[in-house]
Structure 1
Amino acid sequence: MPELSVVVPVHNERDNILPLLGEIAAALRGLTDFEIIYVDDLSRDDTLAVLNAAKQQFPELRVLRHVSQSGQSTAVRNGVKAARGAWIATLDGDGQNDPADIPKLLQTRTVADPAVKLFAGWRVNRRDSAVKRFSSKFANGVRSRLLHDATPDTGCGIKLFERAVFLELPYFDHMHRYLPALVQRAGYQVQSVPVNHRPRTQGQSKYGIGNRLWVGINDLRGVGWLIKRSKRTAVEEL
């Protein structure tokens, strides 16, 4: 059984698959037992064909495919459900997250408080367009004021978390943007870790102001309601 499962959601990312797989393998081979789970969200290009061919080169690779397009949060959740590792690392499939940061997250975990169940990447130096940087900064500011999740960058795709804790969380579309608040709601701690961020060199971004900023602000009300309605208590067996 692998110790770590790397989950990568993709949609129309055929040119980024092989380079990213190579970087994941280079970062983790010899470091830990791992598997790589790509979840294809019904790509319209030949992403799936490239992934299936890549199994010959990367024996750690497993490929899942949605039968209907369902979005990034659903892809992450289905990847986590299929994973065999006790810990999950996630990466965006566009190549902007650096797989070399996964060992850094694993090392941070070894010295962290056991109550920390989510290590969230923090893109200190964003390499995105001005529109994406603005929408992300604005949404992060609003989210932080409303949810008090003490996390500077919830939208970063590279994260490390315990599988069992993730599966305890309430599921909804776009939940991947609120993992720190949801993990804290469940009674655990979150630690932000500075990570590398790279410009997109292949393919096209799937997000803009319309499906990132405004949708995210609307979701805040629902997440805030979940936090207010949460109840936790210790349990004793008699």
Structure 2
Amino acid sequence: MRNRSTTRSPHRAALTAALAAAAAAVGLALPYTGGVPAAQAAVRKHVDSDYTLLRRSPASYVIGTAYRGWTVDIQGDPQGGYRWGHIYGDLNSCLWIYDGAASGDEAHANECGDPVTMPTSEFTNGQIGGGTSDGATVTTVAGSGCATYDGSHITGYGNVRPWAVPTAPSAPLNTQVAIGQTVLWRYVSRDGRYVMVRDPRGGSTDGVGLQSWYFVPRGCLPTTLP
């Protein structure tokens, strides 16, 4: 029986070397992004306005607030003036944020995946007031759980995580709404404990000063909503 030679032919050796060189060239052509493909890398920014409203999709329902100094990891291109990203602070969730509300250019891993629109069934209990872009007028009441900070004006919240059961209120606000005054209610949170409202007294001050969209306890509004 003849012994098989373990020596590769010159042709095979040359082919192997060529393939290795090609693989190395491809590897060098790909920029390093910490293990994240370049197309999926995010940009770390920080909110540089007093606050910015967070939405379930571009220019749609407000579902929270990010405040000055909060970290956000922005990914993808702007859509309708908004960007999809990971919002930190007391939310730690992937939501839509106004494109001009944060600044920074530090590369960071993408933790949110592809942009999505949060269904209303995920953050409301089905009760939605008003039209396509604003709430319905309702008079506030001093019901169960409706707290005031000065004996008359309602304590609101910038965030409650309306999609969570139970909700978790944070970022308390001294609102301009006194018991008996009106607000525009937009929707009731998924667990029924809070209502997103707009205070028309705030005017068009988005990003500066006291915000006009925020949450109030369900007990601050009548049992039957218009």
TM-score range, shorter chain: under 0.3
Q: Which has the larger radius of gyration?
A: 2
TM-score by length of 2: 0.26
Higher relative helix content = 1
**Higher RCO (Cα < 8 Å, 6 or more apart):** 1
TM-score by length of 1: 0.25
